[in-house]
Amino acid sequence: MSTPPEVLAQLQTLLERSYSPYSGYAVAAVVRAKSGKLYGGTNMENAAYPLSRCAEQGAVLAMVAAGEREITEVWVMVAAARPGTPCGGCRQILSEFARPETPVHCLNHQGQGLTLSVGGLLPHAFGPLDLNQR
């Protein structure tokens, strides 16, 4: 897996901007939309923990706010030695806008990691196609 230099630079910048004063676990995410444009996000913790937001959510929200609706590739980087994967909620959010075969690159702070697919992260996902069967 080779992360494009522009994506790696964006991930590293976002990682530095993480607001994670409680856990100290910084996360950055970048999604590539169908148009090719990149959208990024970082995690934002809150003293009231349920109000915290994940980096993947921020990236997808930025994409949707820009008027795009399809993810073609995802990168997640954590400030740790072990690569991080999206949490359960983020897996569901990614599945809303990505195909099961969409690659998700899970990276550590040095840009090393593994590549999975949205379908591999969330097999048998409930999504838009389930609702369109009416």
Q: Residues comprising the binding site?
A: 43-49, 54, 87, 90
Angstrom distance (rounded) from CA 28 to CA 111: 12
In the block, residue with structure tokens 């910084």: 26
The answer to whether 101 is a known catalytic residue is: no
DSSP 84: P
Q: Residues comprising the binding site for substrate?
A: 43-49
Domain map (residue ranges) of the chain: 5-131
Q: Residues comprising the binding site for Zn(2+)?
A: 54, 87, 90
How many residues are recorded in the chain? 134
Contact of 55 with 41, CB cutoff 8 Å: yes
Angstrom distance (rounded) from CA 95 to CA 102: 9
pLDDT digits (tens, 9 = 90+) for 104-113: 999 999 999 9
**Per-residue pLDDT for the chain (134 aa), expressed as one digit of tens each?**
689 999 999 999 999 999 999 999 999 999 999 999 999 999 999 999 999 999 999 999 999 999 999 999 999 999 999 999 999 999 999 999 999 999 999 999 999 999 999 999 999 988 887 887 66
Q: Which fold has domain 5-131?
A: Cytidine Deaminase; domain 2 (3.40.140)
Angstrom distance (rounded) from CA 21 to CA 3: 28
Catalytic one of 6, 16, 56, 96 = 56
How far, CA to CA in Å, does 58 sit from each of 29, 31, 40? Answer: 8, 10, 7
